Structure 1
Amino acid sequence: MNSDTTKGNWKQIKGEFKEKYGRITNDESTEAEGSFDKLVGEIQEKYGETREAIEKEVKVGKTTFTIYLKLKKHQELT
């Protein structure tokens, strides 16, 4: 078990706590952060990647998806 896997397990626990705290306090931002932290932790635990590498991949995926949606909307308008 490498250190990124261990960190991933810990991030899952912290993320779940943060998510539940956000739900209890009705703070959607904190709840969303907790969900994201939990997801990153699961990926870290499974694949042993660093948080930075995972966040970079998520941002690239988000950008790609945003561009796809804009192109699709443009095609529907023309």
Structure 2
Amino acid sequence: MNKDEAGGNWKQFKGKVKEQWGKLTDDDLTVVEGKRDQLVGKIQERYGYQKDKAEKELSDWETRNNHRW
């Protein structure tokens, strides 16, 4: 997958991310721009989760949505 494909996939999944983690703002998602590690950090920040909980939630979400980074 090249960078353009990854960016396109991110735009498709952005709405699903907001459904799952509604506390994330549009600005948060603009900063994240498809970068998994930054999304984990934003989930931690907005929800007060430990890193392992944020990682698990994101992994579960990825599985349900068939999303690959």
TM-score, normalized by length of structure 1? Answer: 0.36
Which structure shows the bigger proportion of residues in helix conformation? 1
TM-score, normalized by length of structure 2? Answer: 0.39
| Structure number with larger C-alpha Rg | 1
Greater RCO, 1 or 2 (C-alpha within 8 Å, sep 6+):
1
